Structure 1
């Protein structure tokens, strides 16, 4: 088999895409897209200058359009676990809140928690629904108004 210039560009493309595993940020993959475009330009018989311009333009377009999409997909919000997953959740009051200390007990997903009321509005009674604002140590800080996490 006789080697042609487009084979070299294709090899560069594959090498860059494989090296992307070791470099964060989708940088080398964008350059690999440019090398793939350079391979296409070489296969069409374009000169070296046209190939280099094609590589540059395709890499730039990949940085502008593909990189943000790839980063958004790769860095999507992780599923919250543990006590972080409780924020914004409704819970049922199992022990009435004290007027002075603002402490009571709430049940979330079958687990009974010590709870502290954050707002100074009406004090919820047993079986009322409150929402978790955040967690401090082993205490849920709750509100009588729904929370958006």
Structure 2
């Protein structure tokens, strides 16, 4: 005979045994402070600042062409993240890009990550650790400084 314990109940709720307590726990990162996952507020601030800088440069150099703005944004991301590990917006927001092992992202990761970021969709689809598809593709992570 089938018993209630065999089929469970919606009253017991979903199984949460595999869910981490905070973003980055599964990756071995601290919950807060330096080295923790950069949260949405910092990420949004950084991208708004970077886009604003790209827009200013595009307005002065290319007459405000939207494709030029996107190209300037991508170039900024590729150059700065590839060499320094952070863009101007990242620096102001106190975050930077690292490989999952803790090393620098590197130029190739910065190029692919930037191109995917410009497509927008990979950046807005993210996992429980708040890593967008553009970060997952290059095995990078955005952490607090």
Tell me the TM-score normalised to structure 1 length.
Answer: 0.28
- Structure with more contact order per residue of length (Cα contacts < 8 Å, sep ≥ 6): 2
| Structure with the bigger percentage of strand | 1
TM-score by length of 2: 0.29
More helix by share: 2
